[in-house]
Structure 1
Amino acid sequence: MTEHKIIFGDSRSLNSIKDKSVQLIITSPPYWQLKDYGDIDQIGFNDSYEEYINNLNFVWKECNRVLSDGCRLCINIGDQFARSVYYGRYKVIPIRTEIIRFCETLKMDYMGAIIWQKTTTMNTSGGGAVMGSFPYPRNGILKMDYEFILLFKKLGKAPKPTPEQKKESAMTKEEWNQYFSSHWNFPGVRQTDHIAMFPEELPKRLIKMFSFIGETVFDPFAGSGTTSLAAKNLGRNSIAYEINKDFASVIKNKLCDVQLGIFDNESKVIFMNDDKGYQSSIEQLPYIYKDPHRMDKKIDVKKLKFGSKIDKTDKKEVETFTVKEVISPEKILLNNGLVVKLLGILEKKEYRKEAMDFLKEKFDKRKIYLRYDKIKNDNKNSTKCYVYLSNRTFINNHLIRTGFVNVDISIDYSCKDKFLKSLPK
């Protein structure tokens, strides 16, 4: 019989787990300032980048404590794409480099990384299908449709498996060749009950690669319980920590589906609470990260979304704004502090006042919404968009019809021909 403990508590302090009591750790840490998992003490969403890395380091320190000698820690993490509208400039944030640095500070051996190529968009890190200076060189931006699975080994001699464990845990030659390749290619999972899930295929492979039947697998960021499910299906025990008790029903539905006969008489699931909590003491870390870039958001990421589901309450509704200031015929300041440029609009200096007065009259106390073309930013990292009133009045086109502005023909966009036809004869 296998046993599966779901512990609701803070993984920065694994109070309910003994030293060297788990033989494999598989996890995917929370995103930085991108996903709101709904708990005030969560790691990531409300942190500066420096706070985020140091909070994660508390978790890795605890993982090292509970992991048996000679066993593996596997961390699924992607580089994160920082948008200029959120952080002031475009930048790829290599979170993995700080994880590697800290785990090696813990005297764990870094054993390389698997590159997981998956079907995705750049929403994970804040981008789109076509980004940068397209179709012109220099300022194009890579599409990040991959993540890393970092592999670490704790020093020391691993627990010795029994002959029966070795026999029952043996992999086929096909599995060995496929799993131990450095590139994996399978899709992600549809985000439904939990807003950031990885597919069961990911922990399934790692469990078969790095543990024996009857051993214990641990996930410090349980989420929807996928790692525990994979462990159960492969005859391993599991322990999982999750900070948000709201996910209890999601985990229970996944692990305790009697109709499907997942557990039957072979396994049992135990739900527990770790109420001791976590007391911050950064001096306990063997290495304290200092961010040379002082990265932090310039505006609330919830105030401007680009298709990514930020929290579980998100619905596919049109996001509306009001205009706080008309800066120029080309630029407006929104009520959330964001400056956007009207795509396709080129200022006529001799009609600057008339164009701005027109926009002020149109925007006066009215709600607007934004639509984007294939290019969301220009070569100066300004956000370019089509602006509509809530009654669907297309402001860019109406402004062009006045004759107070020219049409920008220096770049390609879907409404360029429409705008040219709208110019007064």
Structure 2
Amino acid sequence: MMNFEKTQHSIFIGAAQNMNRVEDESIQLVVTSPPYPMIEMWDEVLGRQNPSIGNKFIQNDAYCIYELMHQELDQVWTEVYRVLSPGGVACINIGDATRTIDKNFALYPNHTRIVSKFISLGFDNLPNIIWRKQTNAPNKFMGSGMLPGGAYVTLEHEWILIFRKQGKRAFKKDIEKANRQKSAYFWEERNVWFSDLWDLKGTKQKINATIGRERSAAYPFEIPYRLINMYSVYGDTILDPFLGTGTTSIAAMAASRHSIGYEIDETFKDFVFDNLSSLKISDLNNILLSRIENHKRFIAARKLDSKKKEIKHFNEYLDVEVMTSQERNMEFRYVQKIECVSDCFFVEYATAPFGKSNS
């Protein structure tokens, strides 16, 4: 008999500086990509929050602009600390910026400014991830080209900053321990996901001109999906205070977690709801099926190598051999139904062994 469960995904339109709908210590994981200070496409969004930013542009006061923009983000990070539960994790995707203001070119290190704020709030900074985007053409040059003295390197990476609140999360009750085991990932996934260098292509998503942005700065689905599986368990609630196109919510749906998303730009509301409403159940479930098929290929290749140790563990639920005992109780939850009610999406799942009907 299949076990049906539901997750809830709430979308709020408004500033995340005051997340009064989110209770204290009710969130287990934050995954977000905020507006990047000193990147031109975000000037208007951040400038609407503080008119002084626009005034400083008139004065060409670059470093004051940089600081004022980060002070707007600081208010959100303060709320993040409030709503995260002890042991909760925050993952912030941010890129540094380069910009010329008043004929002066400089780097604005957004990641270091955010690290400083999170530490001041009481977070511990865990090892961070470098997301290598490889978006620049190999023949692209900056500054003085082949002449020394005036050139500068291109930025081809962004940061995924990892913070934890109040030490390691505890799983004390038997039901908590069992759920943690069901939420495990494959050994070979662990080896890739927990590397500090990710090679993933960035995502540029065209948006209807009436929305007001030529394109979004959406990160690829794989980033929030990995992070959600790495730092949360089934049934946890994931928060994205800068929801954008809704990628984090989609990843939470695929990973059988609840989610809450805030988006300050009201013109994005219809796009976010259309994006989530158009999801195909088969696409979400194919993510799980692909993980299983990739794992089977990994096991088959490993068996061909006579130098590798014998595989001694088996997962009956997934009907696959696994590398460690920690993978023996893994379960996947398949989406059965997605329903939109008011400002929420409800996703219904079924748990059934791989290879049997989930309908």
Give the one of 135, 148, 156 matched to 2:159: 148
Q: Determine if the alignment matches structure 1 residue 236 to structure 2 residue 242.
A: no
Query: How many Å apart are 1:270 and its aligned residue?
Result: 5.0
Instruction: Identify the residue that residue 91 of structure 1 maps to in structure 2.
Output: 106
Instruction: Identify the residue that residue 3 of structure 1 maps to in structure 2.
Output: 8
**Which whole-Å CA distance do the structure 2 matches of 1:6 and 1:220 have between them?**
10
**Which whole-Å CA distance do the structure 1 matches of 2:222 and 2:149 have between them?**
38
Q: Determine if the alignment matches structure 1 residue 57 to structure 2 residue 102.
A: no
Matched residue SS, 1:55: helix
Q: Determine if the alignment matches structure 1 residue 79 to structure 2 residue 90.
A: no
Query: Equivalences for 1:16-415 in 2 at 5 Å?
Result: 16-33=21-38, 34-36=40-42, 41-42=48-49, 46=54, 48-83=65-100, 86-121=101-136, 129-156=140-167, 158=169, 160=171, 162-193=176-207, 194-257=215-278, 264-265=336-337, 270-271=342-343
Which amino acid in structure 2 is aligned with residue 68 of structure 1?
S
Matched residue SS, 2:11: strand
Q: How many residue pairs were aligned?
A: 265
Contact 1:197/1:223 (8 A) holds in 2: yes
**CA distance 1:37–1:4, change in 2 (3 Å):** farther
Displacement over 3 Å in runs of 4+: 36-47, 258-264, 266-270
Which amino acid in structure 1 is aligned with residue 337 of structure 2?
N
**Which whole-Å CA distance do the structure 2 matches of 1:235 and 1:245 have between them?**
27
Which amino acid in structure 1 is aligned with residue 343 of structure 2?
F
Matched residue SS, 2:128: strand
Which amino acid in structure 2 is aligned with residue 11 of structure 1?
A
Contact 2:37/2:110 (8 A) holds in 1: no
Matched residue SS, 1:90: strand
**Which whole-Å CA distance do the structure 2 matches of 1:50 and 1:177 have between them?**
37
Deviations 1:352-390 (A, max 9, x none): xxxxxxxxxxxxxxxxxxxxxxxxxxxxxxxxxxxxxxx
Query: How many Å apart are 1:153 and its aligned residue?
Result: 0.5
Query: How many Å apart are 1:19 and its aligned residue?
Result: 0.4
**Which whole-Å CA distance do the structure 2 matches of 1:178 and 1:202 have between them?**
12
Unaligned runs of 5+ in 2: 1-5, 57-64, 208-214, 285-334, 345-359
Query: How many Å apart are 1:50 and its aligned residue?
Result: 1.8
Unaligned runs of 5+ in 1: 123-127, 273-425
The structure number with the bigger radius of gyration is: 1
**Which whole-Å CA distance do the structure 2 matches of 1:212 and 1:238 have between them?**
13
Query: How many Å apart are 1:181 and its aligned residue?
Result: 0.3
**Which whole-Å CA distance do the structure 2 matches of 1:158 and 1:43 have between them?**
37
Whichever structure has more helix as a proportion of its residues is 2
**CA distance 1:87–1:197, change in 2 (3 Å):** farther
TM-score, normalising length: structure 1: 0.58
- Same amino acid, percent of matched pairs: 35
RMSD: 2.5
